[in-house]
Amino acid sequence: MIVIGDEPHTPYDRPPLSKQFLAGDWDEPRLALPGATGDELGVDWHLGRTAKSLEASTRTLTLDDETSLVPDGIVVATGARARALPGTDAMTGVHALRTLDDARALAHDLDGTPERVVIVGAGFIGAEVAATCRARGLSVTLIDPLAAPMARVLGATIGGVFADMHRDEGVDVRMGVGAPSGSKDRACESTTAWCVMPPPTRPPASLPLVMWRGGPTRCSMTN
């Protein structure tokens, strides 16, 4: 078996990234999946590599380093990646949270005790990060264009319960809020899940943004 992945890390558990790891309760070795890289699996790992193309007629898979593989079968399991908003690449304090490297960068900024963290997108990850930041003693605002957190999944009633739970913990929850994309002066566009982390010297109205929602990973294939 050959496994190809664009991250340089051996397999690890993602759910704790927004909770135990971000809170500082778990270190990186604890994230590792037990037995995932042992010889008993017989896996040939190609880490830090991406599949560039697939010639379907010959089942030839070409990687970004020009390595060619001809397997008997191919499973495309690319998952999703965080969608970057145009115009935010150069903004400081802007993070997407999906990978271990993302979590490292976000945790580093949280260690600097920012004046306020504003999370735009009250889905599961956004809500978890909000709770983690509050547990770290940070001031947190959670905003979302929907009427209640996770309303599409849980419904407005249960979503409202989650909103009240966050408010009880000191989170400033603001539902039905959106803002234009690419702006660090306002909140964010209604179709995107975001977060905002300010440097201590920057007022809350001009904070950079952090995105939480994922989009599909694109695959380029021939034939």
- Domains of the chain by residue range: 2-79, 81-215
| Residue 161, pLDDT score | 96
The pTM (predicted TM-score) of the whole model is 0.77
Q: What is the homologous superfamily of the domain 2-79 according to CATH?
A: FAD/NAD(P)-binding domain (3.50.50.60)
Q: Which pLDDT belongs to residue 84?
A: 64
State both tokens at 84.
């970057």
Spatial neighbors of 115 by CB under 8 A, at least 6 apart, are: 139, 198, 199, 200, 204
Does 81-215 match 2-79 at the fold level?
A: yes
Which CATH superfamily is 81-215 part of?
FAD/NAD(P)-binding domain (3.50.50.60)
**Under 8 Å between Cβ of 150 and 163:** no
Q: What is the pLDDT of residue 83?
A: 67
- In this prediction, the residues of the chain whose per-residue pLDDT falls under 50 are 179-223
| Per-residue pLDDT tens digits for 112-156 | 888 888 887 788 888 999 999 999 999 888 888 889 999 988 999
Q: What is the pLDDT of residue 200?
A: 38
